[in-house]
Amino acid sequence: MLLFFINHPAQFHLFKHTIRYFLTEGMSCKIIIVSKDILEELVLREKWDYENIFPEGRRAKKNTLLSVIQFAIETEKRLIKVIKESRPRLLIGTEGTLAHVGLWCGIKTLLVNEDDTSVNAWNFLTYPFATKVVMPECCDPHRWKRKRISYQGLHEVAYLHPNYFQPDRAVVEKYIRPDMPYYILRLVSLTASHDHGKKGLEDKQLIRLMGLLKAFGNVYITSERPLKEEFQSYLLPVPVEEIHHAMAFCDMFIGDSQTMAAEAAVLGVPSIRYNDFAGKLNYLEMLEHQYQLTFGFKTSEFEMMMNKIKDLLQNKDETDSMEQRHKQLLLDMVDVTAFLIQTVRKYL
């Protein structure tokens, strides 16, 4: 049996094709999740054998170091209980607590990560206990090079590569008009352990940004955090499970979510990310400086961000050259799902 620990919808997408493959091959898979956005709904649709170890959710009221540690300890306690009952042969996931649990239970662990240790200090406490750490070649393994299994790719390629995803305009047409220019804004809560002390778009900045974009097309917001009444009419009417179709046809993506900024880049859509992770994550730096498909700005660089957005809105030649860079990105990337399948097989 394989055990996958999934705690975010993006991780569901990362692993879904790998899980489907092993199930088709007759391998038992146990899926462990927490309540997070539409994650459980996505898993239910797959009819997988799963268990939600945090049905109450895992978001702390305050994003403090103490709360992060408390949630980590509680997560490990609940994981150990499930693992002792199911006795899997291999543990797979992105969360470092899995490495602690694997060592405690005597089971090999594959951590699949793309956060550099310089940004996520939690790696110092988890990587030493993992069997292997699977990460993009561009990511910094710090002192754990001997544990690294690297590949030329990104998490987002595992589910948005043309081998696995084809944007469908008909899906988008059910909710909005994709033939008219439109822009998607994403607001996240920034409450994960690696988000500690980080900031994103504020409401007053959002108002200015929307004022700029509305002169060029329709503006839609998708938000993880509660929105004020004045923004409610701009909510993107597309169901979350079909968001990638809407992203694929939008004219620009702007937000404080690094995952969705990377998704937009892999889809060939110009993306702007605005949070204090800008300049710190190697996989996004690669997308920005090697392929110029995304552009990152710290929260102290709002005016610089606005100027870049204006340039992109007014410069159609940039859009054409971006299409060529997007094609090159896909040519340079391996089939990440096939690589994950091969890696899992090796450590069974």
Give yes or no for residue 118 having a pLDDT over 90: no
3-state secondary structure of 150: strand
Q: What is the mean pLDDT of the chain?
A: 92
Band the pLDDT of 279: cuts 50, 70, 90.
Answer: confident
Q: Is 166 exposed, middle or buried (0-12, 13-18, 19+ CB in 10 A)?
A: exposed
Structural contact between residues 264 and 160, judged by C-beta atoms closer than 8 angstroms: no
Q: Strands of 50-54's sheet, edge to edge?
A: 50-54, 29-34, 2-6, 90-93, 108-112, 132-136, 148-151
Which has the minimum average pLDDT: 49-53, 209-213, 239-243, 265-269?
239-243
Domains annotated for the chain, with CATH where assigned, are: 2-161+334-346 (3.40.50.2000), 169-332 (3.40.50.2000)
Band the pLDDT of 172: cuts 50, 70, 90.
Answer: very high
3-state secondary structure of 311: helix
Alpha helices in 108-252 (DSSP H): 123-126, 157-160, 169-173, 203-213, 243-249
For 188, residues 6+ apart whose C-beta sits below 8 A from its C-beta are: 200, 224, 225, 255, 256, 257
Q: Is 236 exposed, middle or buried (0-12, 13-18, 19+ CB in 10 A)?
A: buried
Give yes or no for residue 197 having a pLDDT over 50: no
Strand ranges inside 85-174, DSSP E: 90-93, 108-112, 132-136, 148-151
The whole-number average pLDDT for the span 209-222 is 97
Which pTM value belongs to this model? 0.92
pLDDT tens by residue, 13-49: 999 999 999 999 999 999 999 999 899 999 999 999 9
Give yes or no for residue 195 having a pLDDT over 60: no
pLDDT tens by residue, 303-344: 999 999 999 999 877 777 899 999 999 999 999 999 999 999
Q: Which H/E stretch holds residue 71?
A: helix 65-86
Q: Residue 172's closest CA among 261, 223, 244?
A: 244
